[in-house]
A and B are shown apart, each in its own frame.
Chain A
Amino acid sequence: MLRPASAAGLGLVTLWLSLVVLIPLAAVVVTGAQGGWTAFVDAVTSPVALSALTLSAGLSLAVAVVNGVVGTTVAWVLVRDPFRGSRLLDHVIDVPFALPTIVTGVVMIALYGPASPVGVDLVGTRVGLFVTLLFVTLPFTVRTVQPVLEALDRDAEQAAASLGASGPTVFRRVVLPVILPAIASGASLAFARALGEYGSLVLISSNIPKQTQVASALIYGKLEDATNPVTSTQQAASLAIVLLAVSVLVLVAVELLQRKGRAAMAEPTVTAPAGERRTGRRVVRTLVVAYVGVLVVLPLGVLVWRTFKPGLDAFVTAVTDPLAVHAFRMTAEVALISVALTTVLGTVAAFLITRSGLPGMRVLDTLLGLPVSVSPIVVGLALILVYGSTGWFGPTLESLGIQVILSVPGMVLATMFVSMPLVTRAVAPVLVARGTDQEQAAESLGASAPVRFWRITLPGIRTALVTGVVLALARSIGEYGAVLVVSGNIQGQTETATLRVDTLYQTLLQPDAAYAVTFVLVAVAILTIVATSLLRRSQGGTR
């Protein structure tokens, strides 16, 4: 019935996906391959590159394994052992997602930096990198396992127990097989994220080649290298290809795992939580709370302390400094433009995927998820290769008077890239769950298509849409790596709030001011968590 509308929507979404994601990523591949096979192999097997790649891969693997175990335990405690404060714990888990990466870097430095209040200085060590990556990836496994555990049919466990299986046996033979795909997909996502991580590591790593230099930092270094730009860009692209290939592999693995997981999932049954054997539970619960406390809450606490140590006046001066105010304004501008576009296009994409019945929608859905596991530095590189002054489209655009790189359009593109799936992924499940009955009822009552959309569909998806928008906004405000690359970080011009934190800390050596701006960004992140939590609750209420 909506054929012309579907066609227009499909055209729009394809254009969006192509301009922001697909063409830039293609440019990376083409550029990396331009020097031929030997150049590619040389670029990725030079001692420095090999060391950076193996360091990133090794750290990511370790983080994924720890995350798989710890994340599953945290999810278990949240679902099966609710206690006073477990709701708070649930929200704290979201903090690493909501914090901008550079902010995480500063937060970690506050606790584990040279001025560490606990006397632990991890700067320039691999342990520092590992702890930071644990922080950044904490939510992944928790958030994939949690819903599966919630939906798990508790009758099956009770049946197994009645057949004589002990607690651990029930877990191993009844529960684990069902949640294993979710654990694996959470760990895979954590792996992908850790592999491409840049912003949160840049401060603590000190970027020592062959020791603490991670892959994305090496790529960034190649991009900044002005001595032989053509070769170094090509080498950067070669390294990016390796990271991209892993991202795609992970994406496919997660897609397959989730499909498998969905098939194994039963309808949820409402069973009262069993109250037996409290002592074992209490130990696990305490461990989980302690882990999350030390990993997430402690550094945040130290950050607050560190921010206000120089006094409130210093804080106010730092955040009202003209350059800081300009940076905040820049962040707002870029975030608002990109979120507006992402909201409209993401909603259209959600409708296409769930309602159009067109072929290839599953591929579209998967492609939309790609940006989540691409390194921000690779995103920046990809955009430069297309829109930069020597890129594919750059010269043409510049002759038309449009400057993309080193200016707002490029920053908007980078921000849209990293926040691409957030609106779609929030809206699509609600569209599926609602079905089309209400729209059909409205149609039979005489409502035209636009009226049906405004009066029936939109109110129905409003909460999900707002949730998606809030998430996209948080992501857009917080983007650092990709924006760093495309903006050139020109003080007073293209400098955003996250970039300002970097400048203050690394270039201007004003840690107090850096902490002040960081604090503002942390506050915004925590507001996001509160907002989405309230939204989720209100959605639960009207359903």
Chain B
Amino acid sequence: MSIQVRGLTKRFGSFVALDDVDVTVRSGTLTALLGPSGGGKTTLLRVVAGLEQADAGTVVIDDKDATRVPARRRDVGFVFQHYAPFGHLSVARNVAFGLEIRKRPKAETAARVDELLRLVHLEAFADRLPSELSGGQRQRMALARALAVEPKVLLLDEPFGALDATVRKELRQWLRRLHDEVHVTTVFVTHDQAEALEVADEIVVVNGGRVEQVGTPDEVYDRPVNEFVMRFLGPTTSLAGALVRPHDVEVLAAAAPGAVEAEVGSLRRVGFEARLVAHVPGSGDVDVLGSRSDPALRDLRPGDRVWLRAVGPVVEAAPSAPSVDASDDVAPGDPVGVAASSGAPVRGGVPA
């Protein structure tokens, strides 16, 4: 049950929340919509669910044009950011709601509700009211409620946003396992890159109402198409006018092709990591992240002379221009080559 979104534009007054967005979600995948706050993730999800009408563009679900289909006929499961529990109904009645609307036989509904409550580990809470559940339990109830009607696709808006860090980590693993069990095409919104990288099959990076990049976690992490994606998916440092991840900076004891000369500023050990700050004359400080056992880092002292070279993805930094400009004529999925201005080697797809 795939989702195809074509040329989607949504305005609120004169504000453009979605600007000509194209996204394809393949059947059976778990896809993350990742991006900063206000980027348009919720809006995109709500348009797909039919809870919001787009100004232009089409939404195709399961190869059928759903653009004009009202929300209640789209067969889309939607899990709201704050779960929207029906406060006056028990957990079981919440889960049964969609089935009752569809007038399924009572016995079938009861059996399905039992099955789902077991799936989300809430069988012991069937008769409680939502107000008597913890945040995580409420979240799972909302998920069971959305899954009960066997939707073609499942959409979740920041499913873990309202939970504390530990529960969040637990639940995202659980969502992954659940997805592997149920196999329903799932899209979830997050602004936490770790969450997206950890659970998703595909990541759609959304920013300023546009799609910046679509790809597997490895692709977006290792081959970011622009500075925005590069910065959003992990820490970066700037080496000779280019952006590079701190763990992708190689430290050499002698001059080498493409390497830049620098002076060691400080070296700190944090757990198993070694964090080096090196000063490149005329350009600034470079952060380097390595392992504590790395022989190249082990014996450095402040003031020592080293040569630094990028060994991972590098994106040309555009210090004054906003990141969106960098991707203006790059469509998602286009192959792009990026080079550091210093002439450092461009190597993509090499996890350090």
Interface on A for B, CB 8 Å cutoff?
A: 437-438, 440-448, 451, 455-456, 459-460, 542-543
B83-135: which have CB < 8 Å to A?
84-89, 97-98, 101-102, 129, 131
Nearest neighbor of B88 in chain A, beta-carbon distance: A459
* Contacts A445-B149, A446-B72, A542-B131 known; 17 new A-B pairs at CB < 8 A: A437-B82, A438-B86, A438-B87, A441-B78, A441-B80, A443-B71, A444-B51, A444-B71, A444-B74, A444-B76, A444-B78, A444-B146, A446-B98, A448-B72, A459-B89, A543-B87, A543-B131
Contact of A437 among B73, B80, B148 (CB under 8 A): B80
Q: How extensive is the interface on chain B, given as a class? A: 20 to 34
Contact of B84 among A438, A446, A455 (CB under 8 A): A438
17 contacts between A and B (CB under 8 A): A437-B84, A438-B85, A438-B87, A440-B78, A441-B142, A443-B70, A444-B49, A444-B76, A445-B72, A445-B101, A445-B145, A446-B101, A447-B98, A447-B101, A451-B101, A460-B88, A542-B131
Residues of B within 8 A of A438 (CB): 84-87
Min CB distance, B267 to chain A, in Å? 45
Contact of A542 among B70, B102, B129, B149 (CB under 8 A): B129
Residues of B within 8 A of A460 (CB): 87-88
Contact B72 A444 (CB under 8 A): yes
Min CB distance, B74 to chain A, in Å? 8
B1-56: which have CB < 8 Å to A?
49-51
Residues of A within 8 A of B82 (CB): 437
Residues of A within 8 A of B84 (CB): 437-438, 440-441
Contact B149 A446 (CB under 8 A): yes
Min CB distance, B41 to chain A, in Å? 17
CA distance A450 to B314 in the complex (A): 57
* A-B CB proximity, top 10 nearest: A437-B84, A445-B98, A441-B84, A444-B78, A459-B88, A446-B72, A443-B71, A446-B101, A438-B84, A443-B72
Min CB distance, B10 to chain A, in Å? 16
Residues of B within 8 A of A543 (CB): 87, 131
Q: A437-B82, A448-B72, A460-B87 are in contact. Are A443 and B51 (CB under 8 A)?
A: yes
Q: A443-B51, A446-B98 are in contact. Are A542 and B78 (CB under 8 A)?
A: no
Min CB distance, A376 to chain B, in Å? 39
Interface residue B290 (Cβ < 8 Å from any Cβ of A) = no
Residues of A within 8 A of B73 (CB): 446
CA distance A437 to B145 in the complex (A): 14
Min CB distance, A453 to chain B, in Å? 13
Residues of A within 8 A of B159 (CB): none
Nearest neighbor of B93 in chain A, beta-carbon distance: A455
Residues of B within 8 A of A442 (CB): 86, 97, 101
B265-309: which have CB < 8 Å to A?
none
Interface residue B312 (Cβ < 8 Å from any Cβ of A) = no
Nearest neighbor of A447 in chain B, beta-carbon distance: B101
CA distance A66 to B77 in the complex (A): 59
Contact A542 B77 (CB under 8 A): no
CA distance A440 to B102 in the complex (A): 17
Residues of A within 8 A of B142 (CB): 441
